């Protein structure tokens, strides 16, 4: 089923412009996002072909089937609740039956989690992005050998440096585990011209190996030194390296360029949504109402333009989180929506729609 099918069959209960244009934070080049609610034809709803959601290829036009819409609203999903308080100038069409679905039917203490906790996650995401921007990973991946150290007196030095100073190649060396000591190995050297001891080297493949390599060491051989493999450090590095280059591959090029241009090293659009969500959460807790159109457009656009320092924004956001927590602690909102009341509205709406009301 496609969105054009919903229109052609007159199945849409509600359709609205969402996103930045609804918030009032849109710019001249901002996309126009559409969201809405539809009702499946009765036979399809009662049969096996239930369709919960319909979207276009770019996912900037999304329509929820009525039951799915209610399920998400009962969970206080921000994207769905915002539809119920869409500014009048953003409403494309509204079926009279949709008037029964009011924000007050759904707003509850769950908004503390869905709005504020999501915003907190965005702060953490912004912190992670800040680290990625300021600490880029070189394309050349480090190897296991970069995390190996050889004992030297009371200290240690990088294995590669030790090999160079000894005039040795890694292939001349062999490792044997030291009993009872984790990731510590006795390091043996084959100095014979023909390599008769047959040591396998320190690693199998310098670029692909994820561990050191052990060798069979003849009895009576004395270790030249002891080698320690910082396994945890290597594991952490591999994770950070992978996450960084995954981010490079998947990042939104336009938003990244905007981040580079304003020079403050944070995703400005991301931080805008942090403040929008936290402010909406505080309003819900204090007033029991949902305001989609933001009254502080200028402040939010200042964030988007990168006019604030990153650390200052994080501090302000964390202070706002504390205010939100206090507001919900004192709020008269119910712990969760009244499922029976919502279900009754859902049933009556569907019955009347199928009856042609």
**Any domain includes 265:** no
**Any domain includes 290:** no
**Any domain includes 292:** no
pLDDT of residue 240: 86
**Any domain includes 262:** no
**Any domain includes 72:** yes
185 is in which domain, residue-wise? 144-231
Q: Does the pTM of the predicted model rise above 0.85?
A: no
Predicted confidence band of residue 24 (pLDDT cuts 50, 70, 90): very high
Q: What stretches of the chain show up as alpha helix (H) in DSSP?
A: 3-8, 20-23, 42-46, 66-74, 78-84, 110-111, 118-134, 159-166, 231-250, 253-262, 268-287, 297-304, 310-329, 339-354
The residue from 201, 231, 261 where one domain ends is 231
The residue from 180, 202, 231 where one domain ends is 231
Number of domains in the chain: 2
**Any domain includes 194:** yes
Read off the pLDDT of each residue in 66-74 and give the average, rounded to a whole number: 98
Residue 65: is its pLDDT beyond 60? yes
- Phi and psi torsions of 18, nearest 5°: -120, -170
76 and 150 part of one domain: no
Percent of the chain clearing pLDDT 90 (strictly above): 72
24 and 87 part of one domain: yes
The residue from 199, 231, 263 where one domain ends is 231
Tokens 């126009």 identify what position? 32
The pair of three-digit structure tokens given for residue 130, joined into one six-digit string: 């800040």
CATH number at residue 34: 3.30.460
**Any domain includes 129:** no
How much is the CA Rg of the chain, to the nearest whole Å?
A: 30
97 and 173 part of one domain: no
């Amino acid at each position: 089923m496609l969105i054009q099918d919903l229109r052609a069959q007159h199945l849409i209960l509600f359709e609205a412009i969402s996103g930045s244009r609804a918030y009032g934070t849109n710019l001249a080049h901002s996309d126009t996002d559409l969201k809405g609610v539809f009702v499946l034809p009765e036979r399809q709803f009662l049969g096996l072909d239930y369709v919960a959601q319909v979207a276009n290829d770019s996912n900037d036009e999304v329509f929820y089937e009525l039951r799915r819409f209610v399920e998400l609203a009962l969970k206080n999903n921000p994207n769905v609740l915002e539809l119920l308080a869409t500014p009048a100038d953003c409403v494309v069409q509204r079926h009279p039956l949709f008037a029964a679905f009011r924000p007050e039917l759904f707003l509850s203490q769950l908004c503390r989690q869905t709005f504020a906790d999501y915003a907190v996650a965005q702060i953490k995401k912004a912190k992670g992005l800040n680290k990625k921007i300021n600490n880029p990973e070189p394309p050349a991946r480090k190897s296991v050998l970069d995390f190996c150290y050889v004992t030297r007196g009371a200290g240690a030095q990088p294995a590669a440096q030790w090999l160079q100073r000894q005039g040795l190649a890694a292939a001349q060396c062999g490792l044997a585990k030291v009993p009872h000591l984790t990731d510590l190995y006795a390091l043996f050297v084959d100095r014979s011209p023909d390599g008769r001891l047959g040591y396998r080297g320190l690693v199998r493949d310098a670029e692909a190996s994820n561990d050191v390599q052990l060798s069979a060491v003849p009895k009576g051989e004395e270790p030249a030194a002891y080698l320690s493999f910082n396994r945890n450090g290597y594991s952490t590095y591999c994770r950070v390296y992978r996450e960084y280059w995954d981010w490079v591959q998947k990042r939104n090029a336009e938003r990244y360029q905007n981040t580079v241009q304003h020079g403050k090293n944070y995703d400005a659009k991301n931080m805008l949504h942090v403040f929008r969500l936290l402010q909406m959460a505080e309003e819900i807790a204090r007033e029991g109402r949902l305001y989609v159109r933001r009254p502080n457009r200028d402040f939010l656009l200042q964030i988007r333009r990168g006019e604030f320092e990153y650390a200052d924004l994080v501090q302000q956001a964390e202070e706002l989180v504390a205010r939100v927590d206090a507001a919900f602690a004192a709020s008269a909102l119910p712990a969760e929506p009244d499922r029976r009341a919502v279900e009754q509205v859902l049933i009556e709406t569907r019955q009347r729609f199928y009856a042609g009301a």
